[in-house]
Structure 1
Amino acid sequence: MSPEHTPRRSQVVLVEPALSQLEKLTASETHRLDRAIVAISVNPELGTPVPDTLLRDYVDDIDGIRVIYYVTAFRQITIVAYVEV
């Protein structure tokens, strides 16, 4: 019997605008953002496509998080371009 495997997570990379925003967050905001980024890394299709771009827009109204990101062709890396908490 083969062991159960969890979904493979993509590697998440934050680009400069997102890193600058991250520096301004409180510990509570960072914790909420971490949960959103983990969810996106497990399922990069969570966000809605931004028309005419490769970007996706993920909004979690419960935690008050918004993440703009795109996923590389082989879904191994998720590039976060913008965070809003």
Structure 2
Amino acid sequence: MSPEYGPRRCQVVMVEPALSQLEKLTAAETHRLDRAIVAISANPKIGTPVPNTLLRDYADEVDGVRVIYFVTALRSITIVAYVEA
């Protein structure tokens, strides 16, 4: 019998502005951001839609993390445009 798997997560890709911001974060900030990225990959609809755009805004008040991203049409890839921790 094959093992039971949970829902498939989407692949997360960061564009240049997000990568530049990521380089400036401390190890602790990066760890907090990682948790947010995992949450987004598991549920791409977790963020709030930004009006009149395809963007979504995810803010985790507990960890103090914010991620601006959009999800591709097939919901298999999430592209991160902005990170803040």
TM-score by length of 1: 0.96
Counterparts of 2:3 and 2:54 in 1: how far apart (Å)?
Answer: 35
Aligned partner of 1:12 in structure 2 is 12
Runs (4+) of structure 1 exceeding 3 A deviation are none
CA RMSD of aligned residues (A): 1.1
Counterparts of 1:31 and 1:7 in 2: how far apart (Å)?
Answer: 23
Q: CA deviation at 1:7?
A: 1.3
Q: CA deviation at 1:29?
A: 0.3
Counterparts of 1:2 and 1:19 in 2: how far apart (Å)?
Answer: 38
Aligned partner of 1:41 in structure 2 is 41
Residues 36-75 of structure 1 mapped to structure 2, 5 A cutoff: 36-75=36-75
In the alignment, structure 1 residue 27 sits paired with structure 2 residue 17: no
Uncovered stretches (5+) of structure 2, i.e. residues with no partner: none
Identity of aligned residues (%): 80
Q: Which amino acid aligns with 1:55?
A: L
TM-score by length of 2: 0.96
**Structure 1 or 2: more helix by fraction:** 2
Uncovered stretches (5+) of structure 1, i.e. residues with no partner: none
